[in-house]
Amino acid sequence: MNGILPLWKEKGMTSHDCVFKLRKILRTKKVGHTGTLDPEVEGVLPICIGRATKVASFVTDAGKEYIAKVSIGKSTETEDAQGDTVTSDQSYKEFTRAQIVNVLHKLTGEITQIPPMYSAVKVNGKRLYEYARKGIDVERPARKVMIYEIELLDDNQVFTGEEVTFSIRVRCGKGTYIRTLAVQIGEILGFPAHMESLVRTSSGNFHQSHCKTLAEVAQLMDKGEIDSILRPIDDVLTGFPKVEIQPDLLENIQNGQVLPADPLLMKHPSIVITHNGQVMAIYQNHPTKSGLMKPEKMLLPNE
């Protein structure tokens, strides 16, 4: 069994829970997820099976889309609704639609974020949440992330109340924390804030409409119809230029040998090598030998 299974992760489960259950359902050990979703977050979680586990990192690195509800008036330890309150401002608030849209515009493009303490980012070999659970505050490295688009989904022209909430749709790159984005929105508006809820609606080329729940996957497996939802490895590699290998080089590719660099690598960091239209490997420029290319990933059909 090889391919990518677009799973709809339900609330209350960790990404690891999903992998553990799918190993039992699919009766195979070679199963891996493509990026952690917090237990209280539901949404698209592509699962790589068999040979597809080799391209999991490409799915993880692809862009994501989320629907988030932002709450202005209270900040929390975890930056979401599950954490204890840190700061609360129950004053009456009033924001126009134009004000909020302007804030979202300021946070579009490349921005700087500081990962939340309750996150899986590693500092000095330990994950931040390990420090947080012991009450240890450590310096967190700021990092650049890309926000491609933020859209205000509510139609209100004026948002008022002691605690103001509104929904946004976010298209972003790898490593973006939507919890932190919610806090940043509040900071620009001048109030504490947190993320009230979150749904991931797409991950790379995989969208909500493609997904099945664990229960639906189990039903398809029982009926012998699991192949109907498995997506081919090619679906992850649509952004890579493809090169059909010459027959005399097939054995070299199968052995993962270093080869003369393809001209496409002058413009692209990686290329996909195919044989009779089937993906064989991903090659990149050799880091130390000019004019040569080496395998980045081997994806031979019989592996």
**Catalytic (active site) residue 227:** no
AA identity, residue 229: I
Within 13 Å and on the Cβ side, how many CA atoms surround 276?
4
Which residue has tokens 């090659």? 283
Q: How far is CA 156 from CA 107, 181, 183, 186, 188, in A?
A: 21, 21, 21, 18, 20
Backbone phi and psi for residue 293, each to the nearest 5 degrees, phi listed first: -130, 150
Q: Among the residues of 150-289, which ranges form H helices?
A: 178-189, 214-222, 250-254
Q: What is the DSSP letter of 35?
A: S
Are the CB atoms for 33 and 190 separated by under 8 Å?
no
Are the CB atoms for 147 and 172 separated by under 8 Å?
yes
Q: Among the residues of 117-197, which ranges form H helices?
A: 128-133, 178-189
Cα separation, 231 vs 256, in Å, equals: 25
Q: What is the DSSP letter of 74?
A: E
Cα separation, 289 vs 145, in Å, equals: 32
Backbone phi and psi for residue 270, each to the nearest 5 degrees, phi listed first: -145, 155
Q: What is the DSSP letter of 113?
A: E
Q: Per the residue annotation, which of 17, 38, 137, 155 is the catalytic one? A: 38
Distance from the Cα of residue 296 to its chain's centroid: 21
Which residues are catalytic, by number? Answer: 38
